[in-house]
Amino acid sequence: MKQSSAKNVFITGTLLLTIAGVLTRIIGFFYRIFLSRTIGAEGLGIYQLISPVTALGFAITAAGIQTSISKFVSMEMGRKNPSGAKLYLFIGLVISLALSTLTGLFIYHQADFLSRAWLGDDRCIPLLKVLAFTFVPSCIHACINGYYYGLKKTAIPSLCQFVEQIARVGSVYLMYQIQLSQGKDMTLSITIWGLVIGEAASTLVSISAFGSFQGIRTQLHHFRAYTGNLFSMAVPLTANRLVLNLFGTFENIMLPNRLKLFGYTNSEALSVYGILTGMSMSIIMFPSVITNSISVLLLPTISEAQSSGNEGLIRRTIKKTIESCLFLGFICTAGFILTGKFLGNFLFGNALAGTFIVTLGWICPFLYLSSTLSSILHGLGYPGITFGLNLTACAIRILFVLFTVPIWGIKSYLSGILVSQIVIALLAIVILFHKVSRPAS
């Protein structure tokens, strides 16, 4: 009976997150089409250039803390201690707020240096100055969402996700209309102000839904121990994410530069980069809304099963995850191969985007597998293994960028993406099989 209830909670939570994800991805599709026709492929390339800064900022301020909150909240709820769960959220919020404030100030005041010395384009300076305002609201709703993921209650995170997308796209479109009425063109800064407004709207929803920290006073004598627990998981997770994002940043910055060695002009290189990351990858990543939803709830589910010694549930979950991801992945691969060129032309009016979609379609089974199996490894308490797998994938892609892109162009980079995803998916399966597939003696 208890197992059936847990299964229903998992399915309901996954369904809510999937619905919210599908809705936001659909809105995101139209938004990408809108951007491709207002700022162009080169503008999308510049917009994507600052994404590594966003990822690094989130890695430093909230990513590891959110995951840690989710894990420890699920453990406290398993012990029937809701006040302890709220204390973990409180501690995580305080740490995350301090980090996000410092990160935002640093990016704002060092925007010139970061744009010129790191991103290599002065046009990123005003974008980074605006981006600096996103980190504080982002960390607040990330921590609160982590709390609700730990409770396996996904209604609030789903609503936050939806509201954030609506606010972001709606505000950008409104500012665009105001610009048009004044006879001005769309600017890239407007798109970043949309990010700020979206994060702020999501934060307001999460704060309103959470209410208060009533009851944590009874747990304050655990403050030091809980802080130590949170740090013990958040620090290595944050370090892992930070290293991976630094490698990813290097990859993203080097790709346009290596394309120039292949023979493209600066404008052409940024355009190809924008088509790949801003158009084609948004299509390829659409079905991952399902696996992302599963991944979010796999961590607390596996963690809870491990703490209760339910090895059978862990093995069944791994088996079902592999079967489901492969089934979804091969369907998506077939779909993208058959419709990729049509989608590129129909959605973005760009033939190259369609070519990229067809080629990238082959990564789907391995992409979906690697994300969900990584979440299981986190739930089992093996963040170091997932870090090693992701670092291996980054290293493979960087090697392709450095040594093959100047010779064979962007197509060789697509091959690098495929190879990296195959490697980490297969390694994750082998490692999990070795760790938990055999019955406990």
Q: What is the DSSP string of 163-232?
A: HHHHHHHHHHHHHHHHHHHTT----HHHHHHHHHHHHHHHHHHHHHHH---TTGGGGGGGHHHHHHHHHH
Mean pLDDT over 343-360 rounds to 90
> Which tens digit of pLDDT belongs to each residue from 57-68?
988 998 889 988
Number of Cβ atoms within 10 Å of the Cβ of 319: 12
**pLDDT, position 118:** 82
DSSP 8-state class, residue 30: H
Mean pLDDT over 72-96 rounds to 87
Most distant CA atoms of the chain, gap in Å: 74
Average pLDDT, the chain: 85
Residue 149 to residue 162: CA distance in whole angstroms: 16
DSSP 8-state class, residue 277: I
Q: Is the pTM of this model over 0.85?
A: no
Residue 230 to residue 91: CA distance in whole angstroms: 8
> Which tens digit of pLDDT belongs to each residue from 12-58?
656 666 677 778 878 887 888 888 888 887 888 888 888 888 888 98
> Which tens digit of pLDDT belongs to each residue from 106-137?
999 999 999 888 887 888 899 999 999 999 99
> Which tens digit of pLDDT belongs to each residue from 174-230?
999 998 888 888 888 899 999 999 999 999 999 998 877 877 877 777 888 888 888
**Listed residue (120, 126, 410) closest to 275, CA to CA:** 410
State phi, psi for 404 to the nearest 5 degrees.
-110, -30
**pLDDT, position 293:** 66
How many H-runs (helices) and E-runs (strands) does the chain carry? 20, 0
Q: What percent of the chain has pLDDT over 90?
A: 34
Mean pLDDT over 237-252 rounds to 82
**pLDDT, position 16:** 67
Mean pLDDT over 295-317 rounds to 71
Q: What percent of the chain has pLDDT over 70?
A: 91
> Which tens digit of pLDDT belongs to each residue from 369-417?
888 888 788 778 787 788 889 889 989 999 999 999 999 999 999 999 9
Range from 76-80, 83-87, 308-312 carrying the lowest mean pLDDT: 308-312
Question: CA angle 430-367-237, nearest 5°?
Answer: 75
Residue 178 to residue 195: CA distance in whole angstroms: 18
**pLDDT, position 404:** 94
* In the predicted structure, residue 440 carries a pLDDT above the cut 70: no
